[in-house]
Copies of this chain bind each other. A is one copy, B any other.
Amino acid sequence: MPSSPNLFVYHQQEIIPLEKAYLHISDLAVQRGYGIFDFFKIQNNVPLFLDDYLARFYESARLMDLPVPFTPDELKKVLYQLMAKNQIPESGIKMVLTGGYSEDGYTPAAPNLIITQQPVSLPTEEIIQQGIKIITYSFVRELAPAKTINYTTGIRLMKEVKAQGATDVLYYHNEVITEFPRSNFFIVTHDNQVRTPEQDVLKGITRKNVLELADKKYPTAAGTVTLTDLAQAKEAFLTSTTKRIIPIVQVNDQIIGNGQPGPVTLDLLQDLTTLENQHALVASF
């Protein structure tokens, strides 16, 4: 269990210390891995793009037939109460909605909503300058449009990722690239087109922001990206809420571009950072 003193969580209709937050074993998350979640970042005490994250949370819940016990406005109140209690200016909030305390171990009951807040740190400057190596794996995430709690394959592959000296694993199926277990994927082609997979992926909020930023400067497309496209790409990067943008310089044994983080990648990271900083400032006024 995380050894994080003084963290509070929302659980069973109250805000309580993290170390006291327990679920009965009859919960369908424990019995059947059944649940959804979402995660957003707080910067300068301001939740970034909160409405986008809440919309996705409710959509995941809908796709899994799990009623959220709050309206979005009610949920926001709870989130702000938790933030006020924890006072962690640079952090992330995770909302987990489980299948609830099932009578028969299979049929969902009233969902349990658990909201946790933890400090987060952005990738180091060193990682941005060096970029990362990734490996690939043939797999499509179950119910990809929903942010379910199921990470069976992603977690199981972590040992192989580390054995290969890599940082993450990129899923593909029938030569078509989809996503990372927890991040979206982009390439930059030799004519500076910015492209990201569109089918069978979780639509990341950072992915959406990067698409909008890229569209102002570069030819931009969300569509099919194949392994061949990746092999011919000039740059590649991943996007995620906690990581923003991380340059990818190697895929399996293959070097991408010149093996260095590319100018379009770094340009978009700068634009994204600026956008997030603006939101954190504007929203706080």
Interface residues of A (CB under 8 A from B): 1-3, 9, 11, 18-19, 21-35, 63-65, 94, 96, 98-99, 101-108, 114, 116, 139, 142-143, 148-153, 155-156, 158-159, 182
Of chain B, the residue at the smallest CB distance from A108 is B155
- Taking CB atoms, residues of chain B closer than 8 Å to A22 are 22-25
A30–B114 touching, CB < 8 Å: yes
- 19 inter-chain pairs at a CB distance below 8 angstroms, sorted by A residue, are A2-B26, A2-B104, A2-B105, A11-B25, A18-B25, A22-B24, A27-B30, A29-B30, A30-B35, A30-B96, A32-B150, A33-B33, A33-B34, A33-B35, A33-B148, A34-B151, A107-B155, A108-B155, A143-B156
Do the beta carbons of B148 and A152 come within 8 Å of each other?
A: yes
Residues of B within 8 A of A3 (CB): 103
Cα–Cα, bound, A152→B27 (Å): 14
A106-B155, A108-B155, A143-B156 known; A116 and B150 CB under 8 Å?
no
Of all chain B residues, the one with the shortest Cβ separation from A11 is B25
When distances are taken between beta carbons in the complex, the residues of chain B under 8 Å from A64 are 152, 156
A100, chain B: closest CB distance, angstroms? 9
Given contacts A3-B103, A22-B25, A23-B22, contact A98 B30 (CB under 8 A): yes
A48, B170: Cα distance in complex, Å? 43
CB distance from A150 to the nearest CB of B (A): 4
List residues of chain B with CB within 8 A of the CB of A159. 65
Q: Which of B26, B32, B96, B156 contacts A151 (CB 8 A)?
A: B32
The one of B139, B149, B156 that contacts A30, using a Cβ cutoff of 8 Å: B149
Chain B residue with Cβ nearest A148: B152
Which single residue of chain B is at the shortest CB-CB distance from A64? B156
A142 contacts which of B25, B27, B153, B158 (Cβ < 8 Å)? B153
Give the distance to chain B from A256, nearest Cβ to Cβ, in Å: 25
Asked, given contacts A2-B103, A103-B3, whether A65 binds B156 with beta carbons under 8 Å apart, the answer is yes
How far apart are the CA atoms of A33 and B142 in the complex, in Å?
Answer: 12
